[in-house]
Structure 1
Amino acid sequence: MTRNEQYQALMQLYKKETANKVVDMEAMADWCISRGVTLPKPKSARDLLVAQLSDAARAEYRQDPKTGLSYRANHALRMTKADGRQLTLWVDIEDATRPQMLLSLTNRRQQMVGDAVHLKIDEMIWNNHHPDEEPIQQVMDFTEDVEERLNSPGFGSNDAAA
């Protein structure tokens, strides 16, 4: 059983024992600790620094002087090494080559598609499990949403990007 599968089983047991259908993970963590669940090994200070540096890179936005739009300054280049390990490099949008930018944007688009597929599956499953209720129908064409957001008052400021 993987660690995730173990945690999922613990969550089912927690919900059964507490009768909570909505789970507060902090309360569940305390419940797990009180039952002797082995705590995960903490990350090293170096690993924490790597994660914080990546978070800071991801969070940096700039404002385009020409359009006034806020844009992501740093872009992730996710790749797999020959030994199978995943590696993420970061490139500033001003320095990115076309192939680098295409890779970054394509990866982000694929993440969005993956999220949309799972959203649609979750919608279908919920609708199937609740046939007596009005079905939930999420529109999967985001064209109008994107246009509306791009043209909404105040969009593009640094506050809107965060």
Structure 2
Amino acid sequence: MASYNEQLQQVWHEYEKEKGYLPSTARDACMWGVERGMIAMPELDPFDELAKDMSRALREEYGTDRYGRRYRKNHAVRVTKGGVQYTMWAIMGNAPLDHMRKAFIQRRQQIVGDCVQLDTDVRVYNDLNPEQEPIQVPFDFSPDVEESRLMIEGEAA
């Protein structure tokens, strides 16, 4: 039996095929799949939905320090206890050092993982399209970070 993700992927592929492989939204594909009985509407736990909403709100809360720097107030660390993954949140100014260290390490690992996948995707695309000029994506973000930081500091001045 296919996993839930595999079922959703199958709906997406069949939707794309029927629609002529044009860019589309996941919502449109889901509506299409539900209408055809390919997937069912999920039964939602209200507390799970509230927790997702709270996590999104916490992720989006920013503060400004005394130097005018905008920063994320709340930071998450993923932990596994008894085989179940939890996301533990803490407020930056009150969080223990160990929590913040883990939060920053995990965020950096996410960025690295995204870069590795982007590099693979670009390389595969270029291999699939040898007649086109290859797309090149630089992965040294130092100039981008510095430029953005200077722009932010210039706006704060």
Q: Which amino acid aligns with 2:18?
A: E
Superposition TM-score, scaled by structure 2 size: 0.90
Q: Which residue of 2 aligns with 1:126?
A: 125
Shift of 1:26: 2.9
Q: 1:61·1:70 contact (CA, 8 Å) conserved in 2?
A: yes
Between stretches 108-117 and 90-99, larger displacement belongs to 90-99
| Residue 46 (structure 2) pairs with residue 39 (structure 1) | no
Shift of 1:155: 6.8
Q: Which residue of 2 aligns with 1:160?
A: none
Q: 1:58·1:74 contact (CA, 8 Å) conserved in 2?
A: yes
Q: 1:116·1:140 contact (CA, 8 Å) conserved in 2?
A: yes
Q: Which runs of 5+ in 2 are unaligned?
A: none
Superposition TM-score, scaled by structure 1 size: 0.88
Q: 2:74·2:89 contact (CA, 8 Å) conserved in 1?
A: yes
Q: Which residue of 1 aligns with 2:83?
A: 84
* RMSD value, Cα: 1.7
Q: 1:70·1:156 contact (CA, 8 Å) conserved in 2?
A: no
Q: 1:149·1:155 contact (CA, 8 Å) conserved in 2?
A: no
Between stretches 21-30 and 96-105, larger displacement belongs to 21-30
**Distance (whole Å) between structure 2 residues aligned to residue 156 and residue 73 of structure 1:** 20
Q: 1:155 to 1:58 in 2, by over 3 A?
A: farther
Q: Output one character per residue of 1:4-63: Cα deviation in whole Å (capped at 9) or x when no partner.
A: 111112222122222233223232223212211332323221111111111111111000
Q: Output one character per residue of 1:49-107: Cα deviation in whole Å (capped at 9) or x when no partner.
A: 11111111111100011x211000011021110x2100111111101222111100000
Q: Which residue of 2 aligns with 1:99?
A: 98
**Distance (whole Å) between structure 2 residues aligned to residue 154 and residue 28 of structure 1:** 43
**Distance (whole Å) between structure 2 residues aligned to residue 106 and residue 155 of structure 1:** 28
Could you tell me the percent identity over the aligned residues?
35
Larger relative contact order (Cα-Cα within 8 Å, sequence gap ≥ 6): 1
Q: 1:64·1:70 contact (CA, 8 Å) conserved in 2?
A: yes
| Residue 73 (structure 2) pairs with residue 73 (structure 1) | yes
Q: Which amino acid aligns with 2:105?
A: T
Q: Which runs of 5+ in 1 are unaligned?
A: 158-162
Q: Which residue of 1 aligns with 2:148?
A: 149
| Residue 52 (structure 2) pairs with residue 51 (structure 1) | yes
Q: Which residue of 1 aligns with 2:7?
A: 6
Q: Which amino acid aligns with 2:110?
A: Q
